Amino acid sequence: MYRDSGSITHAMMTATAAARTSTGRVRSSNEDAFGYRPERGIYVVCDGMGGAAGGEVASRMAVDTVLQRMTAEEDGDVEPMSERERLHEAIAEANRAVLERAEGDAGLYGMGTTLVALLLGTDAGARPALIAHAGDSRCYLMRAGKLSRITQDHSLVDEQMRLGAMTAEEAERSPFRSVITRAIGTQKSVTEDAIEMEVEKGDVFLLCTDGLTREVDEAGIARILGAGPDVERAAQSLLDAANEAGGRDNVTCLVVGIRQR
Ligand code: CA
């Protein structure tokens, strides 16, 4: 198990983060990856896939590329980009990096990864959050005791459900439930979804892989996130709950709590 934590204070609010990842109780390797730079307000979770070492390589590369691009000094000669454009460019760069590596190494051919990223604005006053994702790793928001899912899975079964062609029960039993329809590193380009929202004090964001959401239902996630403001405890409790429920996949939970200074 890997532990990490960090916090950063902005003009009006403080974001405190904690993350946990686990191989789970069945798999022999962990293809999930996470990373964050609190001073930049960027948090990323990826769930890799692909034979041999591919999944591990893809998820790590995607996390590192996005963090690197988001923390790099902006080139003074080019037109300044909006935060949304910067994140879009960082995700596009991660896509190129993973695809190039996969095409250049027969052992890594076909690898790819999901990605979910949270970017917290660093301006004083209003703190808009930007959430971007491709694949079935999710972002949840716990606000005033209520859990909402911010992202919609890019998966075959989720899309069928949204079209009304499949019920939740059918999706749960479907042999295609692991098939994702968007990923980083599997096509020449990727179109991520991006959602912008205001942040309020007391908000708790969760970025997680499907190793959590397949094992712990939303009521269970809400109970754990609602139990108190300690992000370290929340991340650990979510991981423990997934492993206690079977731990059939790698599990990663990154929890970001927003407090007033
Ligand atoms: Ca997974």
Q: How far is the CA of 251 from the centre of ligand 1 (A)?
A: 7
169 class by beta-carbon count within 10 Å (0-12 exposed, 13-18 middle, 19+ buried): exposed
Please tell me whether residue 115 adopts helix, strand or coil conformation.
Answer: strand
Q: How far is the CA of 250 from the centre of ligand 1 (A)?
A: 6
Q: Give the model's pLDDT for residue 13.
A: 77
Superfamily of domain 2-260 in the CATH hierarchy? PPM-type phosphatase domain (3.60.40.10)
| Domain definitions of the chain by residue range | 2-260
Q: How far is the CA of 244 from the centre of ligand 1 (A)?
A: 17
pLDDT tens for 63-118 read 999 999 999 987 777 778 889 999 999 999 999 999 999 999 999 999 999 999 99
Q: How far is the CA of 146 from the centre of ligand 1 (A)?
A: 25
Of 222, 133, 224, 210, nearest in space to 172 by CA:
210
| Distance separating alpha carbons of residues 24 and 29, to the nearest angstrom | 9
User: Tokens in use for 119?
Assistant: 């970017």
Given pLDDT bands bounded at 50, 70 and 90, which one contains residue 12? low
Q: How far is the CA of 39 from the centre of ligand 1 (A)?
A: 28
Q: Evaluate whether 249 touches 7 at the Cβ level (below 8 Å).
A: no
Residue 226's identity, in one-letter code, is G
pLDDT tens for 111-157 read 999 999 999 986 544 558 999 999 999 999 999 999 999 999 999 99
Q: How far is the CA of 24 from the centre of ligand 1 (A)?
A: 10
Q: How far is the CA of 195 from the centre of ligand 1 (A)?
A: 23
Q: How far is the CA of 38 from the centre of ligand 1 (A)?
A: 25
Please state whether 257 falls in left (phi above 0), alpha (psi between -120 and 50) or beta.
Answer: beta
**For residue 244, pLDDT beyond 90:** yes
Residues linked to residue 256 through DSSP beta bridges, in sequence order? 17, 205
